[in-house]
């Protein structure tokens, strides 16, 4: 009997568009479906993997590199084989690409796979409604990403007006004609929009014309040298000491313009506020989400900062200056700046 084929969905989108938030929403609202996940962080601290690991049915994680450049088809097959094995009983696999990946390359790798247990299930491109105009101006190649998408999620619509949302939808309709555009906030989309989608044959025909082996020798006008992540660098920071909340907020207020994305977890250790604070910053947008630490989880700060033209040494020095060895001496007033941006 032939093995049941499991759809593999590529979840793509620029830095901070809300891919991990959307994935967490899918995992929390999957009903009886079992979801396998391939998480690809840009940076050696796998923040996105840590964000989803507590609720995913089965997961493999590749940190410190762009998935479409760090592995070849056979290696991706290995990841997918682990998730598609019958014992895992997985119904759908989601590849959450790093925010700097080339989705077209990932789609080609899946289509070139020899694994008979998986089938390409579509490309979902997540767009940040508040940042799309600026992002597109800096990276016009994102138009091409949208052009091969099977579904576009216009995320963070709570941060724009109705008129701005309608204008964005019109732009997206021009860039991806015939492709459904789903407006959402906080990554809330109906999971059935993804799980039951089938690849559009006409949209993928141009991709199928090239094998993965052909790609290794072809000169692309959007090849690795022009790859999105070529212009970006990742800076990691880890501290076992709590951070002083007031000094940390001053650091965030002074963050350089080129620091596009900050994500991770912060530990302040202030009495009454010793929970884990998940931090998500995109451009000028900043949010923190408070949650309990897992029983065996170490209390520490782990941050990944992604930007262009940033000085990693200066950033780490600024965060080192936020260390606070006596958090018990702090009071509620020191947390006011943090709590202003905190939900949950």
- Min mean pLDDT across 86-95, 168-177, 195-204, 248-257 is at 195-204
Give the mean model confidence (pLDDT) for residues 14-41. 82
The answer to whether the beta carbons of residues 260 and 243 sit under 8 Å apart is: no
Q: What is the pLDDT of residue 267?
A: 96
pLDDT digits (tens, 9 = 90+) for 49-75: 556 655 554 455 444 443 334 444 567
What is the rounded average pLDDT of the residues 16-37? 84
Q: What is the pLDDT of residues 188-228, one digit of tens each?
A: 988 877 764 333 444 454 444 433 333 333 333 344 444 44
- 């212009």: which residue's tokens? 231
In contact, 153 and 127? CB cutoff 8 Å: yes
pLDDT at residue number 231? 53
More confident of the two residues 202 and 283: 283
pLDDT one-digit tens code per residue, 128-181: 999 999 889 888 888 999 999 888 999 999 999 999 999 999 999 999 988 888
For the segment 5-9, the average pLDDT, to the nearest whole number, is 86
pLDDT of residue 315: 96
Strand order in the sheet with 151-155: 58-62, 35-40, 92-96, 6-13, 118-128, 151-155, 181-183
Helix (H, G, I), strand (E, B) or coil at 235: strand
Please give the mean pLDDT across all residues of the chain: 78
Alpha helices of 139-254 — where are they, by DSSP H? 142-147, 162-175, 192-195, 201-208, 212-217, 245-253
Give the up-direction half-sphere exposure of residue 247: CA atoms within 13 A in the CB hemisphere.
14
In this prediction, residue 57 carries a pLDDT of 47
Per-residue model confidence (pLDDT) at position 200: 45
Residue 44 has pLDDT above 60, yes or no: no
pLDDT at 239: 96
């Amino acid at each position: 009997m032939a093995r049941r084929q499991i759809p593999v969905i590529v979840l793509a989108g620029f830095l901070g568009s809300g891919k991990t938030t959307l994935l967490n929403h899918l995992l929390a609202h999957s009903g009886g479906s079992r979801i396998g996940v391939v998480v690809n962080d840009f940076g050696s601290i796998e923040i996105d993997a840590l964000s989803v690991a507590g609720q995913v049915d089965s997961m493999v994680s590749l940190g410190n590199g762009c998935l479409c450049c760090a592995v070849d088809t056979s290696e991706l097959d290995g990841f997918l084989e682990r998730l598609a094995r019958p014992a895992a009983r997985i119904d759908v696999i989601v590849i959450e690409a790093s925010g700097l990946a080339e989705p077209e390359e990932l789609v080609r790798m899946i289509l070139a796979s020899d694994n008979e247990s998986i089938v390409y299930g579509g490309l979902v491109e997540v767009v940040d409604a508040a940042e799309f105009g600026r992002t597109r101006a800096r990276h016009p190649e994102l138009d091409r990403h949208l052009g091969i998408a099977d579904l576009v999620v216009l995320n963070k619509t709570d941060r724009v007006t109705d008129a701005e949302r309608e204008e964005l939808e019109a732009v997206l309709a021009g860039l991806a004609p015939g492709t459904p555009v789903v407006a959402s906030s906080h990554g809330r989309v109906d999971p059935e929009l993804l799980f039951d989608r089938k690849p559009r044959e006409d949209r993928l025909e141009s991709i199928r014309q090239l094998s993965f082996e052909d790609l290794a020798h072809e000169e692309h006008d959007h090849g690795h040298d022009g790859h999105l992540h070529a212009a970006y660098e990742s800076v990691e920071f880890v501290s076992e000491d709590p951070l002083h909340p007031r000094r940390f907020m001053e650091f965030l207020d002074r963050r350089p313009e080129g620091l596009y994305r900050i994500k991770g977890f912060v530990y302040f250790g202030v009495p009454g506020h010793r929970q884990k604070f998940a931090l998500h910053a995109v451009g000028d947008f900043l949010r923190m989400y408070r949650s309990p630490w897992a029983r065996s989880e170490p209390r520490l700060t782990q941050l990944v900062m992604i930007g262009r033209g940033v000085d990693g040494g200066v950033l780490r020095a600024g965060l080192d200056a936020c260390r606070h060895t006596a958090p018990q001496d702090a009071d509620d007033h020191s947390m006011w700046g943090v709590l202003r941006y905190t939900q949950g």
